[in-house]
Amino acid sequence: MIKQGFLLFAAIVLFLTSCKPTVSVTTLTGKWKYVKIEHPNASPPDTVKKAELDENVPYIQFTPEMKFLIVWGGKFLSHGTFTLDGSNMNVTEKLPDGKTRNFVFTISELTENKIVFESTGPEGSKVTALRASKF
């Protein structure tokens, strides 16, 4: 009975770990255009309107040197570095005053042409982006 329970537990763990996307610098590298931004933890939850996304053409760009850049409305919004830990991206954002801010993006989906990542907390957001280009 214990052996069957262990095998069932092992099968469940294997299934759950196989569902997470494979995240590497190679798969991330490039420019990703935002197509949907949700704020599921806001009160009430909301989504950025498609017209606003079409007007501002926001994107995030990842480099092979593990740096990122976020642009909104043609203007630089944020930049910094990142490290990868499974499906988590540990981000160090460089702030204008020379300080840094650390947070985690969890990547829930990553294919050749689509990425879905989110941050947690009351100001957290869930972003869906499509690959605009590779380096």
Q: Out of 2-6, 39-43, 86-90, 91-95, pick the least confident.
A: 2-6
Instruction: Say if residues 127 and 118 touch (Cβ distance below 8 Å).
Output: yes
At residue 33, φ and ψ (nearest 5 deg) are -85, 125
Question: Percent of the chain, pLDDT > 90?
Answer: 70
Does the pLDDT value for residue 8 go beyond 70?
no
Q: What is the pTM of this model?
A: 0.80
Segments in the chain forming alpha helices (H): 2-18, 25-28, 50-56
- For the chain, domain boundaries: 23-133
Tally Cβ neighbours within 10 Å of residue 73: 10
3-state helix, strand, coil in the chain (%, to 5): 20, 45, 30
Given this structure, which CATH class describes domain 23-133?
mainly beta
